[in-house]
Structure 1
Amino acid sequence: MKKIDIITYGCKLNQSESAFIGEKLEQLNFEVSFDKKDESSDFILINSCTVTSEAERKIRQYIRSVKRKNKNKKIIVVGCTSHTNIEGLKDAGADLILGNFEKKYIEEYIDKNGIFVDKDYWNNEKDRVFIPNKPYNSYSRFFLPIEEGCLEFCSYCRIIFARGNKIRSISKKEIFDAVDNIIKSNIKEIVLTGINLTYFGHGTDYNLKKLIFDLNDKYENNDIRFRISSLYPDFIDEEIIRLINSSKIFEKHIHLSLQHVSDNILFNMGRKYDEKYLYNLFNMIFSINPIFSISADIIVGFPGETDQDFQKLIDFVNTYPFSRIHAFRYSNRPNTKASRLNNQVPGNIKKERMSEFQIHIQKSMNNYLNSLLNKKSRVLIEKNEKNKSYGYDEFYVYHEIPQKLEKDNFYDVIINNINKDGVMSNVL
Structure 2
Amino acid sequence: MNKKVAFYTLGCKLNFSETSTIARNFSSEGFERVDFKDKADIYVINTCSVTENADKRFKSIVKQAQKINPEAFVAAVGCYAQLKPQELADVEGVDLVLGATEKFKITDYLNDLSKNDMGEVHSCEIQEADFYVGSYSFGDRTRAFLKVQDGCDYKCTYCTIPLARGISRSDTLDNVLQNAKEISEKNIKEIVLTGVNIGDYGKGEFGNKKHEHTFFELVQALDDVEGIERLRISSIEPNLLKNETIEFVSKSKTFVPHFHIPLQSGSNTLLKLMRRRYMKELYVNRVEKIKEQMPHACIGVDVIVGFPGETDDLFLETYNFLNELDISYLHVFTYSERDNTVAASLDGVVPKNVRAKRSKMLRGLSAKKRRAFYENQLGTNRTVLFESENKEGYIHGFTENYVKVKAPWNPELVNTLQPITLTTIDEDGLVRFEFAKEIVM
Provide the TM-score with structure 1 as the length reference.
0.92
2:146 to 144, 147, 157: 144
Cα 1:355/1:138, change in 2 over 3 Å: closer
Instruction: List runs of 5+ in structure 2 lacking aligned partners.
Output: 204-209, 437-441
Q: Which moved more, 1:384-393 or 1:317-326?
A: 384-393
**Counterpart residue type for residue 314 of structure 1:** Y
Cα 1:313/1:139, change in 2 over 3 Å: farther
Matched residues, number:
419
What percent identity do the matched residue pairs reach? Answer: 31
Work out the CA distance in 1 between the residues paired with 2:222 and 2:67.
Answer: 50
C-alpha contact 1:317 1:361 (8 A) present in aligned 2 = no
C-alpha contact 1:401 1:427 (8 A) present in aligned 2 = no
Query: How many angstroms does 1:73 deviate by?
Result: 2.3
Q: For 1:92, what is the secondary structure of its paired residue?
A: coil
* Equivalence for 1:283: 288
Query: How many angstroms does 1:71 deviate by?
Result: 4.0
Query: How many angstroms does 1:403 deviate by?
Result: 5.5
Work out the CA distance in 2 between the residues paired with 1:7 and 1:384.
Answer: 19
**Counterpart residue type for residue 276 of structure 2:** R
1:159 to 154, 158, 161: 161
| 1:246-261 superposed matches below 5 A | 246-261=251-266
* Equivalence for 2:12: 11
Query: How many angstroms does 1:350 deviate by?
Result: 0.5
C-alpha contact 2:101 2:129 (8 A) present in aligned 1 = no
**Counterpart residue type for residue 321 of structure 2:** F
C-alpha contact 1:392 1:398 (8 A) present in aligned 2 = yes
Query: How many angstroms does 1:55 deviate by?
Result: 0.2
Q: Provide the alpha-carbon RMSD of the alignment.
A: 2.0
Q: Which moved more, 1:321-330 or 1:264-273?
A: 321-330
Give runs of ≥4 in structure 1 deviating > 3 Å.
64-71, 121-124, 419-422
Provide the TM-score with structure 2 as the length reference.
0.90
Work out the CA distance in 2 between the residues paired with 1:376 and 1:139.
Answer: 25
* Equivalence for 1:212: 219
Cα 1:43/1:155, change in 2 over 3 Å: same
Query: How many angstroms does 1:418 deviate by?
Result: 2.3
Q: For 1:358, what is the secondary structure of its paired residue?
A: helix
1:426 aligns with 2:434: yes
| 1:198-209 superposed matches below 5 A | 198-202=199-203, 203-209=210-216
Query: How many angstroms does 1:82 deviate by?
Result: 1.0
C-alpha contact 1:129 1:168 (8 A) present in aligned 2 = no
Work out the CA distance in 2 between the residues paired with 1:55 and 1:139.
Answer: 26
Query: How many angstroms does 1:238 deviate by?
Result: 2.5
1:274-309 Cα shifts (integer Å, max 9, x gaps): 122222222222222322110121101111001121
* Equivalence for 1:402: 408
1:391-428 Cα shifts (integer Å, max 9, x gaps): 11111222112362432221001111224353222211
1:306 aligns with 2:311: yes
Work out the CA distance in 2 between the residues paired with 1:8 and 1:199.
Answer: 25
| 1:260-275 superposed matches below 5 A | 260-275=265-280
Query: How many angstroms does 1:23 deviate by?
Result: 0.9
1:159-207 Cα shifts (integer Å, max 9, x gaps): 1111002x22111111122222222222111111111101110213311
Query: How many angstroms does 1:128 deviate by?
Result: 2.1
* Equivalence for 2:298: 293
Q: For 2:54, what is the secondary structure of its paired residue?
A: helix
| 1:43-122 superposed matches below 5 A | 43-67=42-66, 70-93=69-92, 94-111=94-111, 114-120=120-126, 122=128
Cα 1:403/1:67, change in 2 over 3 Å: closer
Work out the CA distance in 1 between the residues paired with 2:382 and 2:139.
Answer: 26
C-alpha contact 1:15 1:136 (8 A) present in aligned 2 = no
Work out the CA distance in 1 between the residues paired with 2:419 and 2:162.
Answer: 42
* Equivalence for 2:207: none
**Counterpart residue type for residue 423 of structure 2:** N
1:308-345 Cα shifts (integer Å, max 9, x gaps): 21112211222134332110110110110000100010
Work out the CA distance in 2 between the residues paired with 1:91 and 1:307.
Answer: 40
Instruction: List runs of 5+ in structure 1 lacking aligned partners.
Output: none
C-alpha contact 1:317 1:364 (8 A) present in aligned 2 = no
* Equivalence for 1:323: 328
Q: Which moved more, 1:3-12 or 1:400-409?
A: 400-409
Work out the CA distance in 1 between the residues paired with 2:144 and 2:68.
Answer: 35
Work out the CA distance in 2 between the residues paired with 1:300 and 1:129.
Answer: 33
* Equivalence for 1:333: 338
Cα 1:121/1:426, change in 2 over 3 Å: farther
| 1:225-240 superposed matches below 5 A | 225-240=230-245
C-alpha contact 1:155 1:270 (8 A) present in aligned 2 = yes
Work out the CA distance in 2 between the residues paired with 1:48 and 1:415.
Answer: 38
C-alpha contact 1:129 1:146 (8 A) present in aligned 2 = no
